[in-house]
Chain A
Amino acid sequence: EAEVAQSPRYKITEKSQAVAFWCDPISGHATLYWYRQILGQGPELLVQFQDESVVDDSQLPKDRFSAERLKGVDSTLKIQPAELGDSAMYLCASSLSGDEQYFGPGTRLTVT
């Protein structure tokens, strides 16, 4: 069964450092989402792509976060510089034209 792949699974970084996460969606899925899940809360959307275009990045802290999906397939989410409050699980999901979203295993980020 096809799955959404994410790497790394775990990342520990010091504050003020740069960090990047990678996501490979299910083949053929045009829509890709990045969510952030703070411990004890539900996931919140950071950015949504339709192919290579950003559809919604209204909740992305653009002073330090960036996201790209250059060829409309895999995607990278970057944080620079990381802050203590960025410690969270970063989830990637993909869907076929807005239908059911399939989630990857997530990247757990700890900022020290």
Chain B
Amino acid sequence: GDSVTQMEGPVTLSEEAFLTINCTYTATGYPSLFWYVQYPGEGLQLLLKATKADDKGSNKGFEATYRKETTSFHLEKGSVQVSDSAVYFCALTTFGNEKLTFGTGTRLTIIP
């Protein structure tokens, strides 16, 4: 079945540090890939997505590139801020199946 493996957390960084959160996937078929973010006390929000190989999704300074050869979709940001503190989920859907399959989430804390 489909699955997403995410970097174990929690992750603690200083403000302005470089961020990478690793995500790899296993899927039957050709998946679309997503990063969702969950701020404290709120629901999940779509951060970025990519629907085909070599596509780069980007939003709010975050980027992730769909790498079919390594089945990966790592999340990166060049300079994190305190407001980026949240839980980040990598997820996928496959063609003909709209349900999202999520990773376990990575809690990110940014220290001023």
Contacts and interface: CB of A to CB of B under 8 A. Distances in A.
Interface of A: 4, 31, 33, 35, 40-45, 48, 56, 91, 93, 95, 98, 100-106
Given A42-B4, A42-B91, A105-B42, A48 B104 contact: no
Contacts of A100: 46, 49
Given A41-B104, A42-B4, A42-B91, A33 B99 contact: yes
Given A35-B100, A43-B44, 20 more contacts: A33-B99, A41-B104, A42-B4, A42-B104, A42-B105, A43-B89, A43-B102, A44-B102, A48-B99, A91-B43, A98-B98, A100-B46, A100-B49, A101-B98, A102-B46, A103-B44, A104-B43, A105-B42, A105-B43, A106-B43
A91 B6 CA distance: 21
A48 B98 contact: yes
Interface of B: 4, 6, 36, 41-46, 49, 89, 91, 98-100, 102-105
Contacts of A56: 99
B103 A42 contact: yes
A3 B89 CA distance: 20
Summarize B's interface: helix, strand, loop or mixed.
strand
13 contacts: A31-B98, A33-B99, A40-B104, A40-B105, A42-B89, A43-B100, A48-B99, A91-B43, A91-B44, A95-B98, A98-B98, A100-B46, A104-B43
Nearest to B97: A56
Contacts of A45: 99-100
Contacts of A48: 98-99
Contacts of A91: 43-44
A106 B42 CA distance: 8
Contacts of A33: 99-100
